[in-house]
Amino acid sequence: MPVDNVDYATANSVTINEEGDYEINFSANVTSTNSATISLAVRENGTPVDSAMITNTFADGENRIYSGSVIRTLAVGDVIDMVITPIEAATGSVNNAALSVKKLD
């Protein structure tokens, strides 16, 4: 995807350089090797976006795909990132995580 009007100055995040409406798409393939509750959230300036937060409860060895899309109005300097947080002690792996931020015309 073309990169225009954003920066990747901070690892694993996108900084917005042009205000406007953006489509944010996110996904991750998560495997937990124990029973656990795990959340994935897209964050705007470090704060989770309510409509872009998914929580799943895993059984031992279970695999889940988190995915979603949200449209947000963003300002210059806003930082978008994605985090996976265990609600309780979890072990496992995250594979094929993706975050895309696309300005709408």
Domain positions in the chain are 6-103
pTM above 0.95, yes or no: no
Classify residue 101 as exposed, middle or buried by CB count within 10 Å of its CB (0-12, 13-18, 19+): buried
pLDDT at 9: 60
pLDDT at 73: 97
Residues of the chain with pLDDT under 70: 1-11
pLDDT at 79: 94
pLDDT at 1: 45
Give, in words, the CATH class of 6-103.
Answer: mainly beta
Closest among 15, 16, 11, 22 to 104, alpha carbons compared: 22
Count of alpha carbons within 13 angstroms of residue 88, beta-carbon side = 10
pLDDT at 78: 95
